[in-house]
Structure 1
Amino acid sequence: MGGIVDFDVCFPSARADIRAMHTASGVALAELASITHCESFPVLADGEQAWELALTAARTVLHRTGIDPSRIAQVVCAGSGEWDRPFWSPAAKVAHALGADHAHSFEVTNFCNGGMTAIRLLSTAGALREGEYALVLVSDRLSRMVDYSDPDSKALFNFGDAAAAVLLEGGAGRFRVLHSAMRTDGSWADYYAGEPADNRVVIRRAAHRKGLADAYVRQFTALVDETLDVLDRSRDDIAHFLINHGDRDMHLRLLDAIGVPGDRSVFLYDRLAHMGGADTLIALGALDAAGRLRPGELIMLATSAMGFSWGITTLEYQG
């Protein structure tokens, strides 16, 4: 399988604040704080576009690695499919801006599991030749699809925005992709869906249905065990377990279920909410910046998405 050479995350310039959410929705501040876990977090400003954030992250990665854009064979943009413009290719836009004129550019839609799905597709044997590169862009506009005036949508009020760029190569890179395990429970397909409202798409939830939290634990635990069986490793071998930054209580519950202590994960809830598909990359970057990674360590990225899909992407840090 291939590997991650480098990655970067770019944040937008505005912030969502729970006081403004309270004014718009009438939901109590304390309840909002229990959902967002922080008083404010990054979101797109008026006129700011997600593809531009992805472009900034990609330029940072290419500058840092010194890779010429002409060597990029694939540019993939992953997210919800609600791009900055309808019926449009953000991957093609970014590739052209970078000068990656020989690349095949396309999109992958799997919501907050999209980035890891794209990495899965591009890191399989034969997807990239030795010395060939691919760029995965994780880009979405989640905050723009939240209706803060609807108290029934309060579970989505923690949706923030961030964009990431991940450079893959046919070799091992800094983070070798060891395994990818994913599955979808389509019985939840209609639980969340978009609808047109005021010249935009907003996300609405269907009538409340119990069992989603249990499904998270059940699906993730099964995927962890499946991965460890394939790799002939044990849960004790998991050096770092990083999860989508959606719900702190679920984060803790999942760590407990798989037997991974909290100090083997990353918690950024004091300043960041759910930053879409960039969550686990933000956490991985935090580990790297803090000097907490050691060669040979096993890193699991647990991602989930509307649909509902779950994924465990396992990396080995190369140093």
Structure 2
Amino acid sequence: MGIGIETTGAFFPPGIETASELALKTGIPEQVIIEKFGLFQKHVADESMQASDLAVAAGSQAIKHYDPQSIDVVIYFGSPHKDYYVWSSAPKIQHELGAKNAYAFEMMNVSSCFPIALKVAKDMIASDQSIQNILLVGGCKESQIVDYSNPRSRFMFNFADGGAAALITRDSFQSEILESAILTDGSFHDDVRVPAGGSKHFACAETVEKHLHYIDVKDPLSMKERLDPVSISNFDHVIRKALHKSGYTPQDIKLLLPLHTKRSMFKELLQSLGLSEEKAIYLDHHGHMSALDPCIGLHFAKEQGLLNPGDIAVVVSAGTGYTWAATVVKWKGEKK
């Protein structure tokens, strides 16, 4: 046995926005949203459910057959758009899950965080014999920060809501977390952000009036010109490097678990790795949920029986800033 993902959990709020509804909001034809952007529908949370609540719901599912008091660490890896500004959701999640013996903290690297969180959890368990179980848990309510009146950012309409969790254990019967690779190009640090609310543009009547509390892209054309030439190659690089460090090649991949991107980029990534679409999970009925996507993909893979003992899966994501990250997981699927 080894350090691995033992269980997963996912939760989606009941509210749904369809491609036809998004077409009305964005002015983009429904068929373009479905075929080019790869989105039939997405889940949207109402005002009664926040990012931390979505995380708790997913965490509850992941540990439903475990004693919450056996968890040693709770790590929130989800969206930075949370219930409150300058606030850690991890203690609330720890408390509501009943994991009273666990200490709790947060990791934040926007959409790239799940592959990194797997590495951090594995390394923590490997370096500290007192840690047996770490719960990675995240929530996302980023549908709330899309400004459909802003032509610079309304293409981010695939932002959706949900929760995801993964229980990492020292002696996992289900899987083994292998190696990771991470790449950051900080030249993109100023391209995507919520302009107001931080120390640079503190919230005031003017920032609200100007819609500066929604996600924005400073110069979409400039970002596209700089990002398009490197995005797929950087995805390819971290995937191949993580596989090489683990003793594998792209030909060994049974299942690729990426973040939700437009379909053309998804297909281009598969082509660069020599993979068919059957060897990946694409969240065309769920959209993009910050760092949660690869974890949710893994949860679906488990539910659908897509992984067999010995199979190699790669969780891969990228987050604005820009960081690309991949972690290799070897499936065991053993019964206790």
Structure 1 residue 134 corresponds to structure 2 residue 134: yes
Structure 1 residue 216 corresponds to structure 2 residue 231: yes
Paired with 1:289 and 1:230, the residues of 2 have a C-alpha distance of 28
Paired with 2:149 and 2:17, the residues of 1 have a C-alpha distance of 14
> Could you say what secondary structure the match of 2:64 adopts?
helix
Structure 1 residue 296 corresponds to structure 2 residue 310: yes
> Could you say what secondary structure the match of 1:85 adopts?
coil
Structure 1 residue 309 corresponds to structure 2 residue 310: no
AA partner of residue 308 (structure 1):
Y
AA partner of residue 111 (structure 1):
V
Paired with 1:112 and 1:183, the residues of 2 have a C-alpha distance of 13
Q: What root-mean-square deviation, in Å, do the aligned CA atoms of Structure 1 and Structure 2 show?
A: 2.1
> Any idea what the Cα deviations from partners look like across 1:2-47, whole Å, max 9, x if unmatched?
2111011100122234444444444444444456433431011122
Residue 45 of structure 2 aligns with which residue?
44
Residue 245 of structure 1 aligns with which residue?
260
Residue 233 of structure 1 aligns with which residue?
248
> Could you say what secondary structure the match of 1:53 adopts?
helix
1:225 CA displacement: 2.3
2:288 to 253, 258, 274: 274
Q: 1:145 to 1:35 in 2, by over 3 A?
A: farther
Q: 1:240 to 1:24 in 2, by over 3 A?
A: closer
Residue 202 of structure 2 aligns with which residue?
none
1:160 CA displacement: 0.6
Overall identity of the aligned pairs, in %: 26
> Any idea what the Cα deviations from partners look like across 1:63-109, whole Å, max 9, x if unmatched?
13xx2222211111113422111122211001011221221111111
Paired with 1:200 and 1:141, the residues of 2 have a C-alpha distance of 18
Paired with 2:80 and 2:315, the residues of 1 have a C-alpha distance of 22
1:172 CA displacement: 3.4
Residue 79 of structure 1 aligns with which residue?
78
Paired with 2:31 and 2:185, the residues of 1 have a C-alpha distance of 33
1:237 CA displacement: 1.2
Residue 279 of structure 2 aligns with which residue?
264
> Could you say what secondary structure the match of 2:321 adopts?
coil
TM-score with structure 2 setting the length: 0.87
> Could you say what secondary structure the match of 1:233 adopts?
coil
AA partner of residue 311 (structure 2):
E
Paired with 2:112 and 2:173, the residues of 1 have a C-alpha distance of 22
Q: 1:228 to 1:59 in 2, by over 3 A?
A: closer
Q: 1:8 to 1:194 in 2, by over 3 A?
A: same
Q: 1:127 to 1:94 in 2, by over 3 A?
A: farther
Paired with 1:27 and 1:265, the residues of 2 have a C-alpha distance of 27
Does the Cα contact within 8 Å between 2:165 and 2:295 map onto a contact in 1? no
> Could you say what secondary structure the match of 2:214 adopts?
strand
Paired with 1:37 and 1:234, the residues of 2 have a C-alpha distance of 28
Does the Cα contact within 8 Å between 2:159 and 2:288 map onto a contact in 1? yes
AA partner of residue 86 (structure 1):
Y
Alignment of 1:47-196 (within 5 A): 47-64=48-65, 67-124=66-123, 126-127=126-127, 129=129, 132-196=132-196
AA partner of residue 51 (structure 1):
S
Paired with 1:38 and 1:226, the residues of 2 have a C-alpha distance of 30
1:114 CA displacement: 1.7
> Could you say what secondary structure the match of 1:292 adopts?
coil
Does the Cα contact within 8 Å between 2:35 and 2:263 map onto a contact in 1? no
Paired with 1:117 and 1:264, the residues of 2 have a C-alpha distance of 22
Paired with 1:194 and 1:278, the residues of 2 have a C-alpha distance of 20
> Could you say what secondary structure the match of 2:129 adopts?
coil
Flag structure 2 segments of 5+ consecutive residues without an equivalent. Answer: 197-206
Paired with 1:39 and 1:246, the residues of 2 have a C-alpha distance of 13
1:133 CA displacement: 0.8
Aligned residues: 316
> Could you say what secondary structure the match of 1:118 adopts?
helix
Residue 287 of structure 1 aligns with which residue?
301
AA partner of residue 191 (structure 1):
D
